[in-house]
Amino acid sequence: MNTHCTARSIVLTGLFLLMANVFLAEAEEGFVDIFDGKTLKTWDGNPAHWSVKDGAITGESTKENPAKGNTFCIWRGGELVDFELRLEFRIGNAGNSGIQYRSKDYKNWVIGGYQADFDAGNGWTGTLYEERGRGVLAKRGNKVIIDESGKKNGAGKTTDEKTILKSIKKGEWNDYTIIAQGNHLIQKINDHVTIDVTDNQESKRVMKGLLALQLHAGPPMKVQFKNLRIKTLK
């Protein structure tokens, strides 16, 4: 056994791990955790449907306990203006969900505004939808500029739709990133940009608002969120 080679391998492995940790720390610099992994402190959702399970914020409906309408778990830590949000999500074999941002509180855990969509069948995953507003603003894979009148103008592509879908791990944890700066909105799933939207419709767009997680009405479903962290952008 060559002890010199073994020692060198150990040193190189140590250096690699150190560099990886430094890179990770730099990548996460400025981010603040907004979920403690144990409780719904600073979060507000209907306790009939929202809880913490498996270290994740969990929204669940059953045949015996259906969601009678779209119901949301709302972060009460303040309004979002310009920010980057990173989290992991997992959805079961059925249902539709999403992440609301810069949204409005309609009371009784009902929210409206920009929504980063995803669903079990991946028909909507990655799309930008406006709940209680203008509907679909950009389908995944597209760069869109919304003009003052509300017309949605295609401005190119982000990531090929097949590439986005191939990256999604069904029934497992996936990364979702949302970046909102001024009227420019970007969503990413597993590091792939799914939409890039510039919203120039001043009469409809919203520049600040709430963050919330969606449990959709309809058939029984389960959705989970963890590792939620946010960075304020200047």
pLDDT in tens, 151-209: 999 999 999 999 999 999 999 999 999 999 999 999 999 999 999 999 999 999 999 99
Ranges of H-type helices in the chain: 3-27, 161-167
By three-state DSSP, how is residue 7 classified? helix
Mapping DSSP to helix (H, G, I), strand (E, B) and coil, where does residue 154 land?
strand
How much is the pLDDT for 24?
47
Are 115 and 20 in the same domain? no
**Parent domain of 185:** 32-232
CA 216, 80, 114, 92 torsion: positive or negative? negative
In the predicted model, what is the mean pLDDT of the chain? 92
Same domain for 85 and 100, yes or no, is yes
Residues 27 and 231 sit within 8 Å (Cβ to Cβ): no
Do 19 and 98 share a domain, yes or no?
no
pLDDT cut 70: percent of the chain above it: 88
Domain total for the chain?
Answer: 2
pTM of the predicted protein model: 0.89
Digit-coded pLDDT (tens) for 80-138: 999 999 999 999 999 999 999 999 999 999 999 999 999 999 999 999 999 999 999 99
CATH of the domain at 171: 2.60.120.560
pLDDT score for 234:
87
Identify the pLDDT of residue 129.
98
Residues 25 and 36 in one domain: no
CA 135 to chain centre: 18
User: What residues contact 226, with CB distance under 8 A and at least 6 apart?
Assistant: 35, 37, 55, 56, 57, 87, 88, 173
Say which residue the tokens 């009148």 belong to.
149
